[in-house]
Structure 1
Amino acid sequence: MDDVDRILVSSLVQDARMSLKALARASGLSSPSVSERLRRLEEKGVITGYTTTVDPQALGYGLQAIVRIRPLPGQLHNVERQIQAIPQFTECDKITGEDCFVARLSARSMAELDGILDTLADRAQTNTAIVKSTPVARRLPPLPER
């Protein structure tokens, strides 16, 4: 990535709806050149999609929880599929260590959270922490220098 690529990626991270014209102004390139750069960044896998960020609380999900999940013996793949099938799990990482998964879950209430966790109880042990605030939201790591 060169300086222009960093400008384009940083601009899109701040506003995924930024127009080609605005990206051209920010980068000092023409709109067709920006379009070509974006196509190359997509082909290289640097840009994997364009997204909208939605606040779960605005949708009625007042609880956010971080759940550490330790599948019972022989249940790893079943638990992974189960997590993928529950839409309230908004993020999940497969990790090393005693637990196999760390997941983020959105729930409307403590009762809903308990119900979701109960569905995992016959296949996994869980350890749950309620999120009080998010001082650092998901963000891009520093872009590499030349």
Structure 2
Amino acid sequence: MIDEVDRQIIDLLAENARLSLKELAARVNLSSPSASERLKRLEERGVIRAFTVEVNPQSFGYALQAIVRIRPLPAQMARVQQMIEEIPQFTECDKVTGDDCLVARLHVRSIEEMDEIIDRIGDKAETNTAIVKAQTLKRRLPPL
């Protein structure tokens, strides 16, 4: 079970994963060894899966972001999923219910690059693409 101190640790690290162990411990009123042990247990239990860095794709020339809804043709699901995994411009993909089977996030440098990537899977799936104008809500944790 996750208690209030664990929640505080998770909230603090979600805000700044580079927080030092000493600072983290001070903010949750624990000793550094106690905070380290709690952090280790959260990782071992799979509550905390990774410490990561968020990079701005535009810094690398990826001026456009698109949401691509994908409906593989019959018997093509596994191949389409494999193709998405192999195309590095696809940065996320979720298997969903409803009319589409997959919803993916694509980062590209141009419309031409987007067309070329979408065309690669076009003979194995129907796609619907929307250009992202602005991300009004960044990925965040649900209420803990």
Q: Matched residues in 2 for 1:117 and 1:79: separation?
A: 11
Q: Matched residues in 1 for 2:140 and 2:93: separation?
A: 16
Query: 1:22 corresponds to which residue?
Result: 23
CA RMSD of aligned residues (A): 0.6
Q: Matched residues in 1 for 2:79 and 2:137: separation?
A: 32
Aligned to 2:107, what secondary structure does the other structure show? strand
Q: CA deviation at 1:59?
A: 1.2
Structure-1-length-normalised TM-score: 0.96
Aligned to 2:126, what secondary structure does the other structure show? strand
Query: 2:73 corresponds to which residue?
Result: 72
Aligned to 1:39, what secondary structure does the other structure show? helix
Q: Matched residues in 2 for 1:102 and 1:72: separation?
A: 15
Q: Which amino acid aligns with 1:114?
A: D
Q: Which amino acid aligns with 2:141?
A: L
Q: Matched residues in 1 for 2:119 and 2:128: separation?
A: 12
Q: Is residue 2:129 matched to residue 1:142?
A: no
Query: 1:127 corresponds to which residue?
Result: 128
Query: 2:112 corresponds to which residue?
Result: 111
Q: CA deviation at 1:43?
A: 1.2
Query: 1:35 corresponds to which residue?
Result: 36
Q: Matched residues in 2 for 1:111 and 1:79: separation?
A: 21
Q: Which amino acid aligns with 1:83?
A: I
Query: 1:55 corresponds to which residue?
Result: 56
Q: Percent identity?
A: 60
Q: Is residue 2:80 matched to residue 1:97?
A: no
Q: Matched residues in 2 for 1:88 and 1:121: separation?
A: 16
Structure-2-length-normalised TM-score: 0.98
Q: Matched residues in 2 for 1:6 and 1:22: separation?
A: 16
Q: CA deviation at 1:115?
A: 0.5
